[in-house]
Every structure is written in C-alpha cells, then in structure tokens.
Structure 1
C-alpha cells in the first residue's frame, strides 16, 4: 500500500511523495494536449484554430471535474484526519454517485449546444464545423473523464498519490498511441482527421474509468456497494456541494478567462488564435510541477487541519511556495533559449510559431504568481473554505487577466495582451500568497478559524 499518514510524516517527504506521482501523471495527461495539438496542426491552420477554440471549454469542464474532486477530497481528508474512516467511506461513495448524475446532465446539455456556444466565442464557418465534429464525440465520453477524476481525488485524500499517478500515465500512453492512428489512419483504420483526436481520447477515458473504480474499491476500500438512504445521500451531497461548487467555479475561472481572451484575439485572425492556443498549451505544460504541488497540498492540509495541527499546514504551504519560485526561475531561463524551437515543433506554420514564441517569452516569467494562486486555492479548498479559493481565482482571472487583456486590445496590438497576462499573474500571486499566510497565522494564533478574513 502506498497510503501514508500525512499527520505524522515529515512535511518535505510528504510533499515529495504526494507530488512526484502526480507530477508524472499530470505530465502524461498534459502531453495529450500537446500531442493532439501537434498532430491536428499537421492537418492545417483551420484545424489548429478549431482545437484552440475548444481548449477553454474542455479545460473548463475538466476544471469543473477537479472542483467536484476537490469537494470530495476535502471532506474525506478532514474526516480521515479526525479518525472517522467509516464515515469517510460513505462520503466518498456518495460523492461518486452525485458526480455520475451531474455529469450525465451536463454532457447532454453540452452535446446539444456546441454550435451556439462556440459561435458566441467567435468561431464561424469551416472552423465552427470542425469544432462541432470534435466536441460532440468529446461530450459523449465526458462521464468517463469526470468520474475517474473524482475517484482519483478521493484516493489522494487518504494519502495515496501513487495509484492516481499510474492511472493517469497509462491512460495518457493509450491516448498518445491512438491519436495519430485515428487522425491519419493506417491499414484498416480510416483517416478520421480532427474527429480521430476525440475518439482516441474517449477510448483512453474508458480505461481510466474502469481502473480508477477498481483501485478505489479494491485497494483503498473507500467505495460502498450498497446505496445510501435518501437522508444519508442528501447529507453527504450537501457537504460536498458546499465545497465543490465554489471549488469547481474557481477551477473554471482560468479556462473561462482564456476563452474570453481567445475571443478578443479572434479579431486579429486565425494565426493569432492558433498561436495563443499553442502558447497556452506549452504554458500549461510548464506549469505541471505547480499543479502537482497543488494536488499534493490538499490532502496534507486537510488531514493536518482535521487533526488540529495548524503549524504543519503553514510549513507545508511555505515549502510549496519556495519550490514554486525555484521552478518558475528555471522555466524562465529555459524558455528564453528554447521557446522558438518548441513553438516551431508544435506549430507547422512559421507565423504561428513566431507569435507563440513571443507569448512564451513574455508570460513564462510570471508563472510563479499563477502557482501561488493555485496552491493557495487548493489549500483553502482542503480547509473547507472554497469560497476563499474561488475569490483567489477571481482576482487573477476577472479582476486582472480579462480586464487588462481587453484594455490592451483597445489601445495596442495583440502582443500587449501577453504583457497584460504576465502582469495579472504577478500582481495576483503577491496578493494571494500574502493573504493566505496572514489568514493561517491568525487561525493558528487564535486556535480558531478567523471568519472575518475568510470571505465566508
């Protein structure tokens, strides 16, 4: 068993053991996006622009799934920290039941609203037709995305990050292996073009679905076969929703902000939209260690808060901030030399590659701020203060990111949007990190939760 007691383990070792499997897993999952971008880019600029339009929406839904997982993980980790394992198992099971019902409804709505949604985002003509081909298949496979994400979050919440990492890696390998086969065809398999990317993703998701449920049931014993009573289910779902809805909304803020900015950049042409899509994908890939830290900090904070060990919570977050700064500096230096080469590998069009490269050179220097935001938000989600986590995302996304980008398009050319994005990362990161440490110190000093500072 890879499960560890996060209330007793050395903090640095706990962060490493929780984040390393997630680093590998998230790297594998994000590589799917890069591989899809690479092979779809070989089909042409319109296909690449179509995929760029889908990125904010698919990321929003993935983020919504992560929010549901955060809600389940928060209550399960704190319940485990309090020593109530049987109750944690009930909460885990009911979270998965609720997620199944919710995602079925959401996927159905999405399937029938593809054209109006992406028309609103600025897609039209052949690009809109390509988006429709891709997204309808994507929506049909959505339950196989959301349910495993919630299951993996629960598995991590009890101190086991190994299995979720393995599941993510193997799923990504399946997806990456099938993507070129279904896009271009080979032997008896016909070329399916952009639809092929969606089909390969669907097949990988089905594998993830089966394996995640097997692990949570057999290895972690956190899944009950019997259905809950109505009162039990309502009680569990109420606890999950209280955290999950703000957490999900917070997770959706970033892709929504990217979607709005994509719409703003659409007036500059398909090349700029395609380049922005390439740039944000590479940026997301560079942010993987920060996402791994945010995945690791949740269970550590939740269990230690449940065990009333607030000092360990503060030390954990400070350590994650330090790692974030070191990684951000490394990324800035690396992309200073490698951004043009990386962008040209993914984007076959030289003009698209040049614009994507300029995006990376500007924005890479600010990813530490983004890291502070997602780590702090994950910590507050684990504490059951997900409205505060949502506030952190809103500060970055809709107080700074979108308004500054909009002003840049009014007064300058598209390159100034990149500077606006960098500024939003830096300012929001400083604000959020300062606030988080202040709130936790007040909580530790007073041995209570300082509601006056919690946004709740």
Structure 2
C-alpha cells in the first residue's frame, strides 16, 4: 500500500474518534446526493403532470416497479458494502479489493438478466397492477427505455456503496449531484422539445434518465478504480469469484428483498386505491414522491450507518455500533418533527406544485397531513435494517420490512379500503409506520446489547428473526 493510500485510509477511518462527527461526515454529503437523486423524481413528476392526468397516473404506476428494481440494486450495494467494510475493519484491504471487484462483476451479470426479464413483462405486470387504456400505453413507452438504461443504474449503485464502505461519502454524493443536474436540465427539453429537438412526451423523461445514468456509470467507476483504488482490474480466479459471490449474495439477497418489500407494498396499495379513480392514483403517486423526498435525511443515515457499523463490528467495537444506532434514532425523532412542521405548513403548496389538477392536489395534501406524524417509525426501520445488513445479518433486516409491509401496511390499507374512503387508507399507513417502528427499534437495541454482553450470538429468543 502506498503512503498516500495509508493517509487516505487513516482519514476515512470509522473505528476511532467521537461517533457523532463521523455520522455527520458521512450523512451530510449523502443528504445532498440523495436530494439530487430524488429531485429527479420530483422534476419528472412536475413536467409529466403538465402532459395530463393519464400521463401522471402512468408515472405513478411505474413508481413502485422502478423503486423495487432500484432497491434490488441497493441490496447488491448493501451486500458489497457489508463484506468490504468488515474486511477493512479487520485490516484486510487486499481482501476488500477482491470483494469489491467481484461484487461489480456479479452486479453486471445479474443486471443483464433482470433488465431482459423486465423488458418483456411490462404489459402483463402493469395490467396486473390495474393499468389499462391510455395509461398502460404511456407506461409501456416509458418503461421500455427505462429497462434499456438499467445497467447504467445498477453498477454505479454498487460502485458508490463500495466507495462509501471505505469511509468516503463525499464522492458518491458529488456523482449523484452531477447526474441529477444532467437529468433535470434535459427532462423539460426532451419532454416538450426545444429548437431542433422534437417533443418526446413521456418518453423524453425516460431518455433524460438514461443519459444521466450513463454519466453516473462513468464517474462512479473512475472514482472506485483510480481515486479510492478499491478495485482490482484483473481477472479473478474462478473459485475466488464464487466465494466472493456467495459472501455478497448472503447479504445482498435478503437485503435486496427487504428493500423491495416497501415498493411492493406501495404497488399493492396503488392497486387497492385504483378503485377510487385515476385522480386518487395520481395523488398517491405525488404524495409518496414528496414523502420520499422528506425522508432523505433518514435515508442518508441508513446509508451512513452501514460503513460505521460494518467497520466497527469487524474491528470488535460493538459498543460503538450501539452508540451509533442510538444517535441515529434520536436524529430520526428530531427530523420527523421538522417534517410534521413542514407538511402542516406547506403540504398544499407542495402538492399543488406537482399535481395535474386541484382534485389531485387536495387528495395528495390529505395523505401528507395524516402520514407526516408516522415517518419517525419508518426512519427507525430503515436505519435498523441497514445496521443489521452491515453486520452480516440481512435476514433480520428483511424481516423488519416484511413485518411492516405484510403484517401491517397492506392488511390495514386493504381493510380500510373495504369499509371507508381513501383517507382511512392513509390512517392505516400511519398506524403501520408507528407500530412497526417502535417494535423494530426495541428489538434492535435489545439484540445488540445482548450480543455485546455475551460477545457471541444471543440465545434462541433473540435469534428468532435472524435465523
């Protein structure tokens, strides 16, 4: 290892020093990066909404599907980050490089398969979700391009996760911000046309996303290979590659499945509320995009806790993992109070900005008023799940999402839709967030304290969710 590499490694070390400044150093750049990425969705929603309610409803139908695929990619990133950060914490950088390289190769193989399957199942999938007529036509136009650009989404997600695992959150954030700037600049031009560029309508939103992803692909690989020097540009031995894939997939499969559960739940609820009409579907799409944007600081915490917990777990510093998690829980509480104030003060303005009609805006505002009080619970879930993923216990993280979605979120929403109007569906969602959040936070702290005391796997009563 070169002297420059050693200095860089010391600077990025997460296993010593006060925990709160480390959380801030990782989370703050991620907030700006995630804001940039989520702004793409808001900008797409804004300009597609100008095309009409049918186009906006089409985009709302695609949201849970595109989110699910992005979540699968994040699962691969979580798997790579988990094994790489623990290898770095154990002071085995050469093994970390091998794991990083093999993770990217694995992602490349999987993305080709997934994008091909997705491309050829667009129509039956969205018919199953309740889309039809012009809405389905617009969905097909958008998703065909989206799937073609998918490799340029997945590989950078994994590469950026690897870069964060070494303790560098700044460059992934810069990459995300730059790609978002490209996307935002191109979206209105390609949707409505400009000069010699023809109007492409909803397809223009997909093409601008594809171009931005190509930019991200190039920058992320450059930083991982040349700046952080965490990638070995060499052909791996077959057995070494297989072993690396097993290590990554052991985390990635449950982590990816866990991340996919939330958009699956949103997709099911979208189908449930489709019975209330296109305005309600469009409003739900607008509201969930605003909600996702509001949750960015908590998402940044979940992206930051992984490297911190992984490196310290690998170094044997379990007390620092518990301390980090407590700080993250507290930050979620404080930020949720800010969200409540913002939504109760400006929800109608946010909704009106993105909605295609006054009816859509009003329904979206109702959602934001009701669900705002519950987002702290959702924040605790994503932070706790990310922590367990980094510790190599992604089955527990999967179960956290499964309990929220399949035991509470979907059943309560379905029950509310049978007997009441859509406002009661929103109340059901809020209850699901709060109840599951308190259960998850309590279990997580109990498990970690038991693991620290015994310095081994807890007894069977604490191992039920991670077995």
2:370 and 2:270 mapped to 1: Cα distance? 17
Instruction: After TM superposition, list the pairs within 5 Å mapping 1:104-253 onto structure 2.
Output: 104-253=112-261
Q: Deviations over 1:129-180 (max 9, x none)?
A: 1000000000000000000000000000010001000000000000000000
Task: Report the counterpart of residue 5 of structure 2 in structure 1.
Answer: none
Match for 2:326 among 318, 321, 324?
318
Equivalent position SS for 2:126: helix
1:403 and 1:390 mapped to 2: Cα distance? 18
Instruction: After TM superposition, list the pairs within 5 Å mapping 1:36-435 onto structure 2.
Output: 36-435=44-443
Q: Deviations over 1:33-80 (max 9, x none)?
A: 000000000000000000000000000000110000000000000010
2:38 and 2:232 mapped to 1: Cα distance? 32
Contact 2:56 2:356 in 1 (8 A): no
Question: TM-score with structure 1 length normalisation?
Answer: 0.99
CA drift at 1:449: 2.4
2:218 and 2:209 mapped to 1: Cα distance? 15
CA drift at 1:451: 5.7
Q: Deviations over 1:161-201 (max 9, x none)?
A: 01000000000000000000000000010000000000000
Structure 1, 444-453 or 358-367: larger mean CA deviation: 444-453
Contact 2:270 2:284 in 1 (8 A): yes
2:172 and 2:353 mapped to 1: Cα distance? 30
2:94 and 2:349 mapped to 1: Cα distance? 53
* 2:452 paired with 1:441: no
2:409 and 2:166 mapped to 1: Cα distance? 35
* 2:12 paired with 1:4: yes
Equivalent position SS for 2:235: coil
Contact 2:119 2:143 in 1 (8 A): yes
Task: Report the counterpart of residue 23 of structure 1 in structure 2.
Answer: 31
RMSD across aligned positions (CA): 0.8
CA drift at 1:229: 1.1
Runs of 4+ in structure 1 over 4 Å off: none
Q: Deviations over 1:380-400 (max 9, x none)?
A: 000000000000000111110
2:183 and 2:402 mapped to 1: Cα distance? 33
Equivalent position SS for 1:224: coil
1:48 and 1:213 mapped to 2: Cα distance? 34
Contact 2:75 2:257 in 1 (8 A): yes
Structure 1, 221-230 or 415-424: larger mean CA deviation: 221-230
2:353 and 2:126 mapped to 1: Cα distance? 28
CA drift at 1:365: 0.8
2:367 and 2:73 mapped to 1: Cα distance? 28
Structure 2 runs not aligned, ≥5 long: 1-7
Contact 2:34 2:176 in 1 (8 A): yes
Structure 1 runs not aligned, ≥5 long: none
1:8 and 1:430 mapped to 2: Cα distance? 30
1:366 and 1:8 mapped to 2: Cα distance? 34
Equivalent position SS for 2:392: coil
